[in-house]
């Protein structure tokens, strides 16, 4: 591994943050001006949203199942096993649904974006696109950004529903709890602030997945090895940022809603 | 080889200031990671001229073409295309200028996920040209490079030579005023290389488009200088009596500097020891 001086290392980080900020700013700015690549946006929505549906449904469902099993063991000790629904619903809607969906979609799509754009970069297709009069950020990044933010929002709702459903199934079949009571406690425990918190998080996660995936893809150098490196970096960076931003948003929401 | 249609041959007129060159570099320098690639480069390419760029690998030739197309900006100096300085131009203004420039990339740079038709028609689709007209122009451009049968294929299904020909079709479909060829024969066998050079000669002699062409093969460079396209036979043929094509000139690079800028005759009669060694 090549060693660099601390000064050069710091400069690289500042330059990377600057590049990333410029890319993100231009990707957002393009939403408000022509030309808009609507067909590309729908294609990405299909690829990112519909394509991620199985993984999100399965992850949400089994997370809800495990949550119900684990919660029941602890709650039983306090004679509060009937609160399983509340715990599952609150955990899924506020935290696990948004975060796990973000991480799953990140693993699937941030890597996909980085490898696709990275391959285009090393084969000069990005330069060719510019030479043919097309802004690659407008054509490639903005549709992915819009599609990811939009679809992740709905994928999170689906994940929340599947998680709660999975928890209910375990509660009824394995724990012998009352089904309607499970849903009643789950429903009564959720307030507006919880829903808002759970639905704000995927907006940030979607932004992170698309911009990080595209950023690493567009700065790829060094042939196929570079593409592999960019893909790995995109998944690592987006996953860490999703969890970091989750923490910050949670803190903010607690400040706003008091819970 | 079939004759090109008049539509392909026709080039839209572009208003240029009087006395302006199609391409002009003034004291241009650029480096990457403390490695100086081009040093104080200055040259002019006049309208209708074909400028062949020669030199050892890693000499900054591809960088020069990317600079000419505004894909990268120089560290210092000024680049003017069609008499307009690229310095200080916004990306949007450069995009407008690129509508008059066709570029053939070293490795073709075709879009893998698009068919040959969509690749060639890419610029027309961006300009919202009517589908039927775009299709007709794609067929016309593919006929020029003799690849009409490959219209529905995807780039990975094509050979290296075919990909290069599709790339040429994509570059000429918008009837550009300037074509930049980045090693169009690189990595190809001699027969396929000759086919590509024949297409370049055909484009030069039929439409008289100004062009910059990088090549590593001296044989290709001298074929361009000594041959012309015959519309009657539909083939490239040697210019009679050992004459040379007057519009074809040379630019030779070494270690980021221009070591020769002149005509074919001047190059072949050079007394410069490095150039003589390079040519041999």
Positive or negative: CA dihedral A209, A213, A216, A218: negative
Give the pLDDT mean for A27-38.
Answer: 92
Give the pLDDT mean for B181-195.
Answer: 85
Please report which confidence band the pLDDT of residue A52 belongs to, taking 50, 70 and 90 as the band edges: very high
Q: Considering only residues B14 and A54, tell me which one the structure prediction assigns the higher pLDDT.
A: A54
Are A130 and B98 within 8 A, CB to CB?
Answer: yes
Distance between CA atoms of residues A185 and A172, nearest Å: 14
Q: Which residue of A has its CA nearest to B114?
A: A125
Are A130 and B109 within 8 A, CB to CB?
Answer: no
Residues of A in contact with B99 (CB under 8 A): 133
pLDDT, tens digit (0-9, with 9 covering 90-100), for A90-99: 999 999 999 9
Give the pLDDT mean for B6-15.
Answer: 49
Name which of A133, A137, A218 to mutate to probe chain B: the one with the most chain B Cβ atoms within 10 A of its Cβ.
A133
Radius of gyration of chain A (CA): 21
Tokens of A236: 């690592």
Are A124 and B91 within 8 A, CB to CB?
Answer: no
DSSP state at residue B35: E
Burial environment of residue A191 by CB neighbours within 10 A (0 to 12, 13 to 18, 19 or more): exposed
CATH superfamily of B20-111+177-279: P-loop containing nucleotide triphosphate hydrolases (3.40.50.300)
Q: Does A123 touch chain B (CB under 8 A)?
A: yes
Residue closest to B279 by CA, chosen among B270, B243, B201 = B270
Q: Which residue of B has its CA nearest to A133?
A: B95
Please report which confidence band the pLDDT of residue B214 belongs to, taking 50, 70 and 90 as the band edges: very high
Beta strand B227-230 with B76-81 is unpaired
Are A123 and B107 within 8 A, CB to CB?
Answer: yes
Tokens of B150: 């490959």
Name which of B65, B93, B126, B169 to mutate to probe chain A: the one with the most chain A Cβ atoms within 10 A of its Cβ.
B126
Q: Does A43 touch chain B (CB under 8 A)?
A: no
> What percentage of chain B exceeds 70 in pLDDT?
95
pLDDT, tens digit (0-9, with 9 covering 90-100), for B79-119: 999 998 998 888 888 988 898 999 999 888 999 999 999 99
Q: Which residue of A has its CA nearest to B93?
A: A133
Chain B residues contacting A via beta carbons under 8 Å: 66, 69, 71, 91, 95-96, 98-99, 101, 103, 105-107, 109-112, 122-123, 126, 170
Q: What is the pTM of this model?
A: 0.86
3-state secondary structure of B224: helix
- The pLDDT, as a whole number, for residue B93 is 87
Q: Which residue of A has its CA nearest to B65?
A: A131
Name which of B63, B71, B141, B167 to mutate to probe chain A: the one with the most chain A Cβ atoms within 10 A of its Cβ.
B71
Please report which confidence band the pLDDT of residue B5 belongs to, taking 50, 70 and 90 as the band edges: very low
Q: Left (φ > 0), alpha (ψ -120 to 50) or beta: where does A110 sit?
A: alpha
For B181-190, b/e burial (b = at least 16 CB within 10 A) is bbbbbbebee
Residues of B in contact with A128 (CB under 8 A): 103, 105, 109-111
Tokens of B111: 């879009």
Tokens of B69: 């197309």
Distance between CA atoms of residues B24 and B21, nearest Å: 6
3-state secondary structure of B60: coil
Are A135 and B112 within 8 A, CB to CB?
Answer: no
Positive or negative: CA dihedral B177, B182, B183, B188: negative
- The pLDDT, as a whole number, for residue B13 is 55
DSSP state at residue B2: P
Tokens of A45: 């929505």
Q: Mean pLDDT lowest for which of B7-16, B96-105, B208-217?
A: B7-16
User: Between A35, A128, A134, which is nearest B105 by CB?
Assistant: A128
Radius of gyration of chain B (CA): 18
- The pLDDT, as a whole number, for residue B271 is 87
Residue reference for tokens 């320098």: B29
Please report which confidence band the pLDDT of residue B21 belongs to, taking 50, 70 and 90 as the band edges: confident
Name which of A128, A134, A218 to mutate to probe chain B: the one with the most chain B Cβ atoms within 10 A of its Cβ.
A128
Residues of B in contact with A132 (CB under 8 A): 98, 122-123, 126, 170
Residues in chain B, overall count: 280
Give the pLDDT mean for B67-89.
Answer: 91
How far does B87 lie from chain A, in Å, by closest CA? Answer: 17
Please report which confidence band the pLDDT of residue B3 belongs to, taking 50, 70 and 90 as the band edges: very low
Please report which confidence band the pLDDT of residue B6 belongs to, taking 50, 70 and 90 as the band edges: very low
Are B98 and A123 within 8 A, CB to CB?
Answer: no
> What percentage of chain B exceeds 90 in pLDDT?
42
């Amino acid at each position: 591994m090549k060693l660099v001086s601390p000064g050069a290392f710091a400069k690289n980080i500042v330059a990377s943050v600057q590049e990333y900020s410029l890319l993100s700013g231009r990707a957002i700015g393009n939403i408000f001006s022509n030309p808009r690549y609507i067909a590309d946006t729908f294609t990405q929505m299909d690829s990112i949203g519909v394509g991620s549906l199985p993984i999100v449904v399965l992850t949400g469902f089994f997370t809800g199942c495990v949550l119900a099993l684990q919660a029941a063991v602890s709650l039983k000790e306090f004679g509060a096993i009937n609160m399983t629904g509340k715990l599952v619903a609150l955990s899924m809607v506020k935290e696990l649904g948004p975060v796990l969906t973000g991480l799953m979609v990140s693993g699937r799509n941030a890597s996909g974006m980085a490898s696709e754009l990275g391959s285009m970069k090393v084969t000069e297709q990005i330069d060719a696109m510019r030479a043919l009069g097309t802004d690659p950020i407008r054509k490639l990044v903005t549709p992915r950004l819009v599609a990811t933010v939009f679809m992740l929002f709905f994928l999170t709702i689906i994940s929340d529903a599947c998680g709660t459903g999975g928890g209910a199934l375990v509660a009824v079949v394995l724990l012998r709890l009352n089904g309607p009571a499970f849903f009643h406690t789950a429903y009564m425990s959720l307030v507006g602030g919880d829903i808002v918190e759970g639905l704000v998080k995927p907006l940030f996660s979607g932004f992170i997945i698309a911009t990080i995936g595209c950023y690493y893809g567009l700065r790829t150098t060094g042939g196929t090895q570079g593409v592999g490196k960019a893909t790995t970096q995109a998944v690592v960076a987006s996953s860490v940022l999703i969890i970091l931003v989750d923490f910050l948003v949670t803190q903010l929401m607690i400040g706003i809603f008091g819970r | 080889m079939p004759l090109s249609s008049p539509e392909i041959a026709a080039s839209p007129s572009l208003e240029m200031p009087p006395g302006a060159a199609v391409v002009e570099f003034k004291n241009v320098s650029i480096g990457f990671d403390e490695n100086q690639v081009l040093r104080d480069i200055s040259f002019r390419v006049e309208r209708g001229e074909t400028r062949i760029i020669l030199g050892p690998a890693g000499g900054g030739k591809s960088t020069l073409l990317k600079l000419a197309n505004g894909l990268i900006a120089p560290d210092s100096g000024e680049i003017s295309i069609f008499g307009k300085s690229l310095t200080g131009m916004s990306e949007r203004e450069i995009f407008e200028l690129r509508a008059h420039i066709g570029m053939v990339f070293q490795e073709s740079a075709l879009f893998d996920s698009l068919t040959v038709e969509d690749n060639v028609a890419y610029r027309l689709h961006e300009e919202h040209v009517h589908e039927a007209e775009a299709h007709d122009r794609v067929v016309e451009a593919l006929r020029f490079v003799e690849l009409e049968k490959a219209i529905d294929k995807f780039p990975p299904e094509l050979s290296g030579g075919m990909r290069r020909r599709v790339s040429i079709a994509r570059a000429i479909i918008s009837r550009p005023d300037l074509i930049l060829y980045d090693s169009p024969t690189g990595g190809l066998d001699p027969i396929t290389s000759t086919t590509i050079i024949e297409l370049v000669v055909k484009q030069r002699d039929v439409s008289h488009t100004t062009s910059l062409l990088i090549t590593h093969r001296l044989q290709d460079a001298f074929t361009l200088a000594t041959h012309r396209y015959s519309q009657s036979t539909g083939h490239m043929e040697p210019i009679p009596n050992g004459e040379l094509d007057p519009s074809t000139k040379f630019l030779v690079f070494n270690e980021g500097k221009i070591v020769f800028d002149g005509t074919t005759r001047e190059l072949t009669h050079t007394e410069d020891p490095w150039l003589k060694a390079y040519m041999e």
